[in-house]
Amino acid sequence: MNTSSKPQIAVIGYGSQGRAHALNLRDSGFDVVVGLRSGGPTEVKALADGFTVKSPAEAAAQADLVAVLTPDMVQKKLYADVLAPSMKQGACLLFAHGLNVHFGMISPRADLDVVLVAPKGPGALVRREYEIGRGVPCIYAIHQDRSGRAEELAKLYAAGLGGARANLIRTTFKEETETDLFGEQAVLCGGASALVQAGFETLVEAGYQPEIAYYEVLHELKLIVDLFYEGGITRMLEFVSETAQYGDFVSGPRVINAETKARMKDILSEIQDGTFIQRWVAEYDAGLPNYKKFQQADLDHPIEKVGKELRAKMQWLQQNGAPQAAAPAAEKPAATPSQSTHPIAETA
């Protein structure tokens, strides 16, 4: 490994997280090369950003630290075919999500340091916060420490992203992977989507206009999530009406109850014992037949048609081609909460 304080870094992948990592690390003084297949859709973007772009094998062979920022399901083949044969002896292999290592789909070479650094925010936010002199909190973990410097390297990388400006929390590959999968399935993606769809269907089936139902169960959800993000449940309760608070107290437990929590525990158990990942790998290897069916069902849901029509009339969503923040749903004459946009989830 390079004995200098800042290792040479190869960022493999240039999606939302890959681009943010590469830009922030370069701006923090690291020597960064981007590893991409020639002619791929992100090569032009990386070159336009001023990076040296090499094949993943060539980039990995020259780097002290290789950051794997590609989708989960391609990482096993990428490691086996490209990274394992190419990486330097004693180099550091870094992941932003521990799934492949934790579930044994990747067994890293014994000579490598193996670490995880995961910013708790989407790539656009990681980059934006860095540019204005702040940072997104990062969690980090150590799987193999062959050099005795693995934790130092993980913290150095997290600092290069801007994470040390905010907060660094040590975790494990197991904890990061299992909590991340659970959060996505039970709350952030699966739980929230199903709750919104069920609320919409309940109102429409009762005879209410789809447009009104959309605003009440989907559009205004962002306003509540922003308040959660900024100050937890306490801030949400501060900025909604007493009527909304009372409805929260008496009706929330009727929707999310002990039975719901028991099903959440079942979901967590299937993540912990490997049942979920076995199903997901089998689905991916089969060409995603159920995945595509489930995805199309969501895309065809009536709330999507109504939402598309209504959002076309929301000029603030069209500004600069990106969603803009909406005003908070405060009903009391109180101080206005921050109007910054707060994305809540992104796959690594």
Active site residues: 97
Q: Is 16 annotated as a binding residue?
A: yes
Is 284 annotated in a binding site? The answer is: no
230 labeled binding residue: no
Nearest to 124 by CA among 231, 232, 24: 24
The answer to whether 160 is annotated as binding is: no
**Is 72 known as a binding-site position?**
no
17 annotated as a binding-site residue: yes
42 assigned to a ligand binding site: yes
Flag whether 270 is marked binding.
no
Q: Is 254 annotated as a binding residue?
A: no
State yes or no: 184 annotated in a binding site: yes
All residues at 6 or more sequence positions from 159 whose CB lies less than 8 Å from its CB, including other chains: 28
Binding-site residue numbers are 14-17, 37, 42, 123, 180, 184, 216, 220, 241
Q: Which residues are annotated as a binding site for Mg(2+)?
A: 180, 184, 216, 220
Numbered residues of the known binding site for NADP(+): 14-17, 37, 42, 123
Binding residues for substrate: 241
